[in-house]
Chains A and B, each alone.
Chain A
């Protein structure tokens, strides 16, 4: 299935991937959910026009049971530019039922030599969301999802991922130095690749400070015990402050993590910033 996804973008092999798609499969990309062959194929064709037939330059897989994830980068050798894409999918090893694809559209704009506004104009209209107000506080006896609530995993992986989640949900910034290797490769969509966790910590602070009453929620998680890789589908809700106005927004994120000796050595934090701008009528840059 991973190969079929890669072959779609590198060779334009629509037929092969179509054999994994059901009439009732959904494919979410740029925060728009496509259902059925006609809508899904339209998304594929647009992607192929934008970043198809480039060279696969990096790949990370997370093979779970019901859910799996894939991260890869495609490089345009002539322009020496690349774009990154993550896929988080519900499957039964034959068919994909639901798939959430996140494209780093900021890097895509650079690859296509377009402005963010030009890329935003080409994106499909995101699904309209009605975000209800809720109590975002972590009251002592309230229940909030933790990684082990969603997926069984070995104890050592659970310990690292639980601390990783506490960085985002509870702002336990001191956990960075406990769970990241000093030379960890961290790629933040729209912000590029960095060595060490410092850039990610700075990003985390900026993000939280731009969104009042923010709340991080886990959606789904899968673990590949053989490769020590973990994929987490999650989102942040918050009040985004822009020009003295407050907008309630939701920021979907997929994180792909690889561990060595119980330390994070590789992490991709994937966000489609330009789809977020389109969906909530925000101006770029977001942070």
Chain B
């Protein structure tokens, strides 16, 4: 299954950090314009992340980000390296011991424009000792999953989509999700964000969701599989077909602490989540795939979901009918054409914050100091 992949590129899974930071292998990719020290794109991503975040060399963003680098998140849009530096510094100040544990890097060489696309799955452990966008310092330690999708060109990141499981983080910090969303909603996004958000919403809504997209054993390709996954499960809501996509004991991690194993639980997670946006449409916006071991591949997806919000909690009842839009990323581990492990990340706080801001409704906070 994985023979067609370049299996000489760095694989993070079983590597100790010391080896990742001092790679001894030969250069495996051309990496035109990149510093000579990097042997492949995975090495580049792992080492620059470590230098910027764990060694706190925030200023290295000037070296590894282009001056103009659009960064898309569901919570806002940043464009220049100065904003990346300032945002990084602000986060490190609020979470000074933040560690970035690289779990996986799934990559793709884009032949058309000579760029590399990387999807970096990160687990962070961090203690909230300073005030942050979430509210006052809680002095609690939390864990959060992030996926950073980057376009890399000549030693610099030139475009990024960043998703973080903020709802899981604040659950550990003891902050209420809706309170955090109300706070986030007060942050006024720039015009570029508003325009991107609106354009993306319209684009995804145009998806033709009634066309069957299926695959057989004979025409199984990663592209067929993931487009069928999006169309059949998310767009057509045919949950009995989960068995075509997931192993019967697949491990499934979704934002906010949704952890499921097996078809019944995964089905429950997806039904409950989609019920708040019953007309949801999904598009697959980028696919990357690498070999994991001889029988297994890793797929990175960037996707969008758009629809109409149908609140599932009384506190948000007044927001019914507003636009619902999600920028999400998933890492799928696939063996024998079935997903055995999925990690999906998006920012639930920003999802609700955008709905609240769009509605213009003023909602009360539950907690003091939130």
Q: Interface of A with B (CB < 8 Å)?
A: 22-24, 26, 33, 35-36, 38-39, 92, 94-95, 97, 125, 127-130, 132-136, 141-146, 149-150, 215, 217-220, 235, 237
Contact = CB atoms under 8 A, between A and B. Distances in A.
A217 B99 contact: no
A21 to B, nearest CB: 9
A23 B101 contact: yes
B299 to A, nearest CB: 19
A24 B123 contact: yes
A125 B17 CA distance: 28
B14 A218 contact: no
B125 A129 contact: no
Contacts of B267: 134-135
Interface stretch (B57-65, B268-276, B354-362): B268-276
B258 interface: yes
Interface in B226-278: 240, 243, 247-249, 251, 256-265, 267-269, 271-273
A218 B249 contact: yes
B16 interface: yes
Given A142-B264, A218-B249, A219-B251, 10 more contacts: A22-B14, A24-B13, A35-B101, A35-B143, A39-B125, A39-B141, A127-B172, A134-B269, A150-B249, A217-B262
Contacts of B12: 24
Given A132-B272, A133-B272, A217 B265 contact: yes
B309 interface: no
B3 interface: no
Contacts of A95: 14, 16
B55 interface: no
A218 B264 CA distance: 12
Nearest to A218: B249
B282 to A, nearest CB: 18
A23 to B, nearest CB: 4
B248 A219 contact: no
Nearest to B169: A128
6 contacts: A22-B14, A95-B16, A125-B172, A134-B271, A144-B263, A218-B261
Contacts of B261: 217-219, 235
B168 interface: yes
A136 B172 contact: no
A15 to B, nearest CB: 15
B365 interface: no
Contacts of A217: 249, 261-262, 264-265
Given A35-B143, A97-B13, A128-B168, A144 B262 contact: yes
A74 B359 CA distance: 60
Contacts, number: 105
A132 B143 contact: no
Nearest to A220: B249
Q: Which has the most chain B C-beta neighbours within 10 Å: A22, A129, A133, A134?
A: A134
Contact of A36 (B14, B101, B247, B260): B101
Nearest to B242: A143
A215 B260 CA distance: 12
B102 interface: yes
A74 B89 CA distance: 47
B171 interface: yes
A134 B171 contact: no
A202 to B, nearest CB: 27
A128 B171 contact: yes
Nearest to B99: A36
Contacts of A36: 99, 101, 125
Contacts of A129: 257, 259
Given A24-B102, A24-B103, A145-B262, A130 B256 contact: yes
B15 interface: yes
B264 A22 contact: no
Nearest to B104: A24
Contacts of A220: 249
Nearest to A138: B264
A22 B15 contact: yes
Contacts of B15: 22
A115 B142 CA distance: 28
Given A35-B125, A125-B172, A22 B243 contact: no
A127 B263 contact: no
A24 B264 CA distance: 29
Q: Which has the most chain B C-beta neighbours within 10 Å: A133, A143, A149, A237?
A: A143
B359 to A, nearest CB: 24
Contacts of A149: 247-249
Interface string B78-107: 000000000000000000000101110000
A260 to B, nearest CB: 28
A136 B265 CA distance: 8
Contacts of B103: 24
A28 to B, nearest CB: 11
Contacts of A218: 249, 261-262
A-B residue pairs, 9 tightest by C-beta: A134-B268, A23-B17, A128-B171, A145-B248, A145-B249, A130-B257, A132-B272, A132-B268, A132-B269
Contact of B258 (A132, A215, A235): A132
Contacts of A35: 99, 101, 123, 125, 143
A33 B248 contact: no
A135 B270 CA distance: 12
A94 B13 CA distance: 13
A33 B99 CA distance: 15
B123 A128 contact: no
Nearest to B18: A23
Nearest to B14: A92
Q: Which has the most chain A C-beta neighbours within 10 Å: B143, B168, B249, B260?
A: B249
Interface in B3-28: 12-17, 20
B264 A215 contact: yes
